[in-house]
Amino acid sequence: MTESKLMCEVLVIGDSGNVKRRQEDEVLSLLKNHLPNSTESVLLFLGDNIYPHGLPAENDVLRDDAELVLKAHYNAVKDFKGKTVFISGNHDWNKGKRDGLAYVLRQEDYLNNLFRPQQVFFPENGCPGPKEVFSNEFLAIIAINTQWWVQKGVRPIGKTCGCEQETEEDFFVQLKALLEKHKNKRILVAGHYPIYSNSLHGGKYKIKHHLFPFTIYKKNAYFPLPFIGSLLPMYRKYFGAKEDLSHPRFRVLRKKLKAIFRTYPGLTYVAGHEHNLQFIEKYENNFIVSGAASKSTYVMDSKYSRFGMSAKGFFKLKFYEDLRVKVEVLIVDDQNKDGELVYDGWMR
């Protein structure tokens, strides 16, 4: 296949909140080595930017450690000439607890000040979005706040909170308007929670999880509970913990997004949350999960899967003048500072 002119590169990386604080981090170093030189390029951090609880108050004992995490991000990408974007995940909202808004607003202010004069945190003010964060002749990127839909406590909405959306329905109306505005380009929508996943949060479990259900939470927790042990995986698959795709609140968002996206063939949705690397193609849309910056967990196969791997790394998307997109996956390689290219293919 003859390549046309490369117009834009987008690096997609999520769940980087547990990178090394006081020494060089292998994933951030790999990311730094692959940052494009072009100003027409984008770096997307897909949430869970600080483990375990986001950015605490200044008098909190965890504050200094959380700041080190954000400074590690900044030091790795401060020379990047393109657009840097951070969105929030459940950990950034104090793991979804009722006081989570204060945590995410502190992170927004801290990152925007760190990267000044560039504004990097979207959607602003803890709002649901959607927010157009990048657009050129060939590509539009729209950020949405998936955690807003499942968050306990205060969920900002309306002009009094600094949001452009007055109701939940406004979110969908505005999203459709943005998609229609950019329908003749490649469109990339970025959120923290995936739409589809062949891993834990998507309700995909191995046999060992039914026999040893506590290994869902701890890798070596081999306490056998045959038969009874299946209740936990089944519950999370069909009813959902607050961080699962089957959670009732997230199901509302997920169902509507799937329906909207299907009317825009070629649209790509990128997310983190799962600690692995996945490329799923379904109903003429592309779904990428890139949440393997800090840790890696299992991923299973499916008939819609084009790639899946448990390894630390990230996706690189290359957008060409003829609107074709090349997908690359890079993972850490201890023997090579430029990592290992483990997937190289074209979006359909």
Q: Are 191 and 146 in contact (CB under 8 A)?
A: yes
Q: Are 280 and 3 in contact (CB under 8 A)?
A: no
Cα distances from 227 to residues 101, 207, 212, 231, 246, in angstroms, run 40, 11, 10, 8, 22
Q: Whole-angstrom Cα distance, residue 25 to residue 332? A: 10
Q: Are 150 and 250 in contact (CB under 8 A)?
A: yes
Q: Are 294 and 31 in contact (CB under 8 A)?
A: no
pLDDT value of position 244: 76
pLDDT value of position 348: 84
**248-261 helix and 168-181 helix, angle to the nearest 10 degrees:** 20
Query: CB neighbours of 200 closer than 8 A, spacing ≥ 6?
Result: 216, 236, 274, 297, 298
Sign (positive/negative) of CA torsion 102, 84, 186, 339?
Answer: negative
pLDDT value of position 199: 81
Complete DSSP assignment for 244-298: STTSHHHHHHHHHHHHHHTTSTT-EEEE-SSSSEEEEEETTEEEEEE--SS----
Q: Whole-angstrom Cα distance, residue 207 to residue 203? A: 13
Q: Whole-angstrom Cα distance, residue 104 to residue 95? A: 11
Q: Whole-angstrom Cα distance, residue 48 to residue 90? A: 6
For the domain covering 6-196+248-346, report its CATH number. 3.60.21.10
What residue ranges do the domains of the chain occupy? Answer: 6-196+248-346, 204-243
pLDDT value of position 125: 98
Burial class of 113 by CB neighbour count within 10 A (0 to 12, 13 to 18, 19+)? exposed
Identify residue 206 by its one-letter amino acid code: K
Cα distances from 221 to residues 208, 218, 225, in angstroms, run 11, 5, 11
pLDDT value of position 270: 98
H and E: helices and strands count for the chain: 8, 13
pLDDT value of position 38: 92
Q: What is the pTM of this model?
A: 0.91
Complete DSSP assignment for 75-104: HHHTT--SEEEE---TGGGGGG-TTHHHHH
Q: Which residues of the chain have pLDDT under 50?
A: 210
Q: Whole-angstrom Cα distance, residue 28 to residue 18? A: 11
pLDDT value of position 144: 98
What residues form DSSP beta bridges with 11?
43, 316
pLDDT value of position 288: 98
Identify residue 239 by its one-letter amino acid code: F
